[in-house]
A and B are shown apart, each in its own frame.
Chain A
């Protein structure tokens, strides 16, 4: 076994140790926290590169390169519960992505959170998150996976509610935790069922693992009561966990509210990594979900469900994003939508298709979030896009990188990674034998994506700066509220309330991410499907001929057309006719007020949940309280009363019957004795008289005794 596979555990443990050391430090020391956090991430990144290179070296040898290390953890009856890690291409690529993106976001946070007084707590939680996420990636064992999954959820809660004094943040953290918990229940049930079926929770263990052929065959042939194969049932349960964590329909409600956390948190957790963990889970257990009675095929029930949910989520979230006004919320709904795409890709095309989009998405979404963080920082914590505008000239670097990220997300052809990854998905969906609808939904979603991203960029970076409220409050030269602010009036504002570019510590990561947003696309083109080959253990080579086969070129053209249509529409509505003030109604709102209101209110999903699930839960809680208080409590009270009554009875008996009887007896004895002692008068003659009487009695006894 290679050295790195042996010591793969170091990768999550280093950030964990950093987090622990920061946590136990009494006096928050900023320099120490930063050094530990970033240092441990750098080490983790270097080790991940080691792992990646090891995988690359052994790529192409006999099937998929996979090295596993396990150790016994807990004795459980007669068996040992094992934990362990695995090094294979999927793990390696995820390790590199997670550690690299985390490292860049950590560096960004040094600048972003500089003014916050809870600086060290932030880095403690972020390191813990990084450790747990890396643990999720390397886990070879569903139990270890679950443990790290839960820690990821915990740190997400802690970080969403980082500014816990804000009630909205605390509520959002709670919502995130509870919603993902519902999904985790499914994962737990699936895990237990899997253990019951196969007797092991290890994914790969020299042929005995639950994702290996013998276990899979056993599970696919075993039927449950509902006529479903056990593998399907377990797969669906595990997918439920992914639905919660990755914000798929219907458990997507927590993700937009999670934007209450600081922007680096949104970037790292809710764009690049944690939400991707759900997708990663499906990719990891893909053999289980794709196993079929006739051999591995991509049309199993489990995968069909995954596809449909992914497709619906994609279109649903994209439509909501069109009507949002908070810069981060637009990106949040965009994330939900893109996660739907990833699930769609996994369902129709397999691990490589979904994972490719995951990797590219991680980079450009992180870029977009960090960019929005830069914008928010520059606009003095303003988050409403209607109050921004014209930031292109104030923040050029941010604008450039943001534009690159936006184009990647929209899928601008050829140069940007989003195009290649999304195209793979659409290509696979096009060829899906079950139904054509997911493909159409995907295309519609692509159109909407391009549209709303253009809207966002136009509103934020183009036009004029609309934050008139602040300007009248701060500037010394009193200008009217609704006065048009032309670019030449820049000098009229006071220096500190005009938006400013972020410091280098924040812009350098943006640039690096932008570079990757462009370059990563090229590892997954049809002409050179390196990524696909890497994950499947096959060598891949350049082959331009593949571009022309199977309608690939036609599809590329079609998606290009869709993207351009979306960009054009967006520009026409929002770019050309710039809104003048913050209070103006949205252009779409003017056109279709009803539909716009529906979209703006997120289809009232939260309200529906509140009226049904939450209300039912509250009722159940009240009913349980009533039961507990009056019924079970009543029983307890009854027992108490009976016991008390018995105790009183015993006391009564003891006091009045036993004691009194005893006391009376003793009293009588004493008094009797007292009475008898009075006979001792001390007078001799009395005694003599008594003796005389006794003599008479004695004589009489003698006489009569003799006679008898």
Chain B
């Protein structure tokens, strides 16, 4: 197992953990946390490939990750604002009870 593969495995596991949490926990905030974990796993993947791939001096991977972090921050802010707004309406942060879009 090359170091790269090790990094990739770690990132995959992190991703899986994040996914498991997002789809398993009741609380909406924890779902968001899971999503953040997934994003971070992806970021790790990018950095790993940047470091071990060809032309690391082009800094492509790093750029992507920088932007990804920025976006993740914005998304976390908005998501949490949404959760707060929803909490005010439903008086609960349980994802199960927010099924008005039921078809």
Contact = CB atoms under 8 A, between A and B. Distances in A.
Nearest to A686: B23
Contacts of B103: 677-682
Contacts of A677: 103
B99 interface: yes
Interface in A643-685: 677-685
Nearest to B22: A688
Interface string B91-103: 0000110111111
A474 B96 CA distance: 125
B19 interface: yes
Contacts, number: 35
Contact of B99 (A678, A679, A682): A682
A684 B102 contact: no
B45 to A, nearest CB: 13
A682 B96 CA distance: 9
Contact of B31 (A680, A681, A685): A685
A84 to B, nearest CB: 98
Contact of B102 (A680, A685, A689, A692): A680
A212 B76 CA distance: 129
Contacts of A682: 98-103
Contact of B95 (A679, A680, A683): A683
A692 to B, nearest CB: 6
A683 B96 contact: yes
A683 B22 contact: no
Interface string B26-53: 0000010000000000000000000000
Contacts of A689: 23
B60 interface: no
B5 interface: no
B95 A692 contact: no
Q: Which A-B residue pairs are the 7 nearest by beta carbons?
A: A680-B103, A682-B99, A682-B102, A677-B103, A682-B101, A688-B23, A685-B23
Given A677-B103, A685-B22, 17 more contacts: A679-B103, A680-B102, A680-B103, A681-B103, A682-B98, A682-B99, A682-B100, A682-B101, A683-B95, A683-B96, A684-B95, A684-B98, A685-B23, A685-B24, A688-B22, A688-B23, A692-B19
22 contacts: A680-B101, A680-B102, A680-B103, A681-B102, A681-B103, A682-B98, A682-B101, A682-B102, A682-B103, A683-B96, A683-B98, A683-B102, A684-B31, A684-B95, A684-B98, A685-B22, A685-B23, A685-B24, A685-B95, A688-B19, A688-B31, A692-B23
Interface of B: 19, 22-24, 31, 95-96, 98-103
